[in-house]
Structure 1
Amino acid sequence: MKFTFSAFATTAIVGLTAGAASAQDVSCGGIGAAGQWMGGAAEASDITTSEGPLTLEALPVTQGGNTVGYFSISETTEVRVEAQPVDGGDSVIELYDEAGTLILTDDDSGGAWASRAETTLQPGSYCLATRGYADGALTTDMRVGRLEHEDITQGLSGGFFGGGDPYFVGVDACTSDTQATLLGTGPIDGQLTDDGVTAINTISETPYYRFTLANPQAISVRAENPSADPYIYFFDGDGTLMAENDDYESLNSRIDFTTPLPAGTYCIGMRALSNPDVPVTLSVVGYDAAAALAELYDTGEAAPPLDGSYPVIDLGVLPGRSVRDAQVSGRQATWYAFEVPEQGALVVNAVEVTDSDPLLILYDDLGQEVAYNDDHGGTLNSQITARVQAGRYILAVRQYSDNYQGIIRIATERYIPAP
């Protein structure tokens, strides 16, 4: 059966339709719905040619929602993207290209709970999305500019471990003169199988690690303890920052080098976005493409293919309303696939029955993330509301952490616009 909006819901769907119409120039794979141009119009939002930075001020971000600004690049340009919360709040930014591919994300690199990142972008259109940490509500200023433009965030001063001039990456560059704890004994090439090379220390006591490769190797670097919320930075032997990551999975961090790194010496720097005095497990393992992909599917970080190679429960055409219970063990996602027969809105609730902290992630059939939620309405339960087109979708249901092994009740409601 079909569910038609009430008068209240009709107003909501009209708003959705209007938002979609305003976003038709830039969709970013659906992320850009209901966004706005950073410069007020498309022709005024090219940051390559803009005389100054482009800023959207005092934007409300609802609980569980986000706000999106569009900008364009006409020539390859180094840019800075920022979100500065107004009157409190903790922002998280995500930058997407026009196809909806996530380019970067940042939580606190702007300092004082603000978000900031710098990168080089190729010509095209982009979406800068800002949401509240843990899906909280906030009001924020958003800005995009070239590196010479004035910023709105303070950045991180001198790294986490001392004074000095502002330095964006959050820790001082690890050079040959930096004191660092050695990983392994000699070159670690032969130690990369299974659990690899591992060390457990607090970040306050051990902010840097150094290791050597005798031969080119594809590796994965991981830092784990959500209580610390570790942020990792990877440097070459000259102190050049090669990669960084925060919150790859939950509050843990990970960097994958899928192309073998040249033989040489490397350094890992870390800071804690939460508690620097709890032990963090730092490991360097050999990168296994098949295992890495399976792990992404297992944790819901990426959608599996619908070719039968990975277990997905097919629900067929989604009815107007459905309810089911599922035993969900830790961070191992349970996957559902379903058809939405026509354009409308989809609401999914995940409610604790026993021993659960539910988490939901919705993808389209191309594997592009449509919606995500952990905690909703001041509870540990989750809810996502998404505007959807007719087509096939994939839903991951999992626990926030391995500490939860209980039953989750999953309810879906599908709405169509009132005539």
Structure 2
Amino acid sequence: MGTMVQRRSTMANDNGPELKTYNYLKSFFEGPKLSEEDMKLPMWQRFKLLQDMRAKDPAGARNSAIFFRCLLLFQAPTQLYVFIAHIVPFFFGDYGPWVEYYMKVFVAFVFFNGMANWLCVILYDPGYYKTKDNPNLQLGNFDQPPDQFVPLIEQSSNGMNGHCVYDLTAKEGLPWEFCNECEMYIPPRSKHCKHCKKCILKRDHHCFMVGNCIGFKNQRYFFVLAFYALITGLVGGYFTYKYIQIEVWPHMYSWTYLIPPVTVVQTLFGQLTIFECLLVFHVILEFLFGTFGFIYFTSQLTVVALGKTLYELSRQTGVKSSNSINRNFRSVFGDFWLLNFIFPMTLIFRQRDDGIHWEGIKIDYNGNEKKNEDANNVI
């Protein structure tokens, strides 16, 4: 009897890792489900409800980040190989060896620049954390710093909405807000991200394509990454499409071969080669990434020129910038900001702002109140 119990316990332990793997894969592909009553709501309310449900599930954002990062790690190196080994020689080989050589150098330059900025977007954490050794930290009522800690900012309460005003004698005089989730005061223009579970300095938006928030410390890299995604996506997608049209299309019996599931099946049955299957996946992913790159690049170009963030622009928070367009770009990129599109210039040209002080930025609270009153009158 004891042997049977021991054998059953051993089997349960053996099935433990398999069960965990199954549950992880199940959670990876399964999303939150709405109830029958929620399905009766309008589409925009259902979409917002699904967003809130995904935000409460930490596995959702993590799985999305893993999926898109693995997809990019597959797409980028294989696309580099296809262009250098096949597409560039096919289209530019007739112009001479030097033209072909310089085109390969250009392709490699775009690849390494895009990957470098992608890594910087991920590795540069835009969060604002609660630490005792942070001299710019606004403390709550129950937080006591050590005796040797001398705050470098003046704290005072304005008695409104739990705000703590930062250095009212300064020109910017922007209020600090209290984050209930992190239980600390956060600098102006900072917001709490429900997906990252932390406060973000100058939060722009949460990008599921890269798997983390875009804020003060990594917005410059995201801007450049969107630019190179636009180039590699649309320009690269065009050349890949033309290569398929000339070299691969005559071997296909139907246009359905361009549908990814059909492409995989035909490859398994030997109708298409692995290289031809790779080209089909490349042209789809390139136009997909190119479209997202165009959307993000144009949106970042707009908000940076205005001196705002996507969050501030969409929520109409009343943030106004009196700075010039060049000053707004230097706030994000640092001096000589155009050089960031050649190589990340983090160590050479620092950003003009520090994520806490905002020269030339004001918040029009009266404008927000007027908009809210007008909205209520309309309703």
- The answer, yes or no, to whether TM exceeds 0.5 is no
Whichever structure has more strand as a proportion of its residues is: 1
Q: Higher helix share goes to which structure?
A: 2
Q: Higher Cα Rg: structure 1 or 2?
A: 2
TM-score category by the smaller chain?
A: under 0.3
Q: TM-score, normalised by structure 1?
A: 0.23
